[in-house]
Structure 1
């Protein structure tokens, strides 16, 4: 199964994720090939987003005033 990268934002929305344009562009560059995103790469992108989000919140709890945004943490 494969998806068009033009539907990636909607697929992420269905999974409960919202991302900025910058993050979406990075996901496309990292996981898509020729405007196609395979199911395996879609899952890997979701895992990567989850781990980045988790890492950011761990940093945020360690540092009261975390100078990094979520995008800079990736």
Structure 2
């Protein structure tokens, strides 16, 4: 888990993107047409400013605000 207690990962999914949101009580996934939509949803769920780090498999992982790679 991240320092804010939740994990957000966005992965390529078909023609769009899948947001995985892991938190203390469980996990939820949502699908989006565009990467900005998925990032905006994660931002809204987190309630804090998120940075994003691109992973080797073209996924994106939310990071603390000071680690932007957007």
**TM-score, normalised via structure 1 length:** 0.27
Query: Higher strand share goes to which structure?
Result: 2
Structure number with larger C-alpha Rg = 1
**TM-score, normalised via structure 2 length:** 0.28
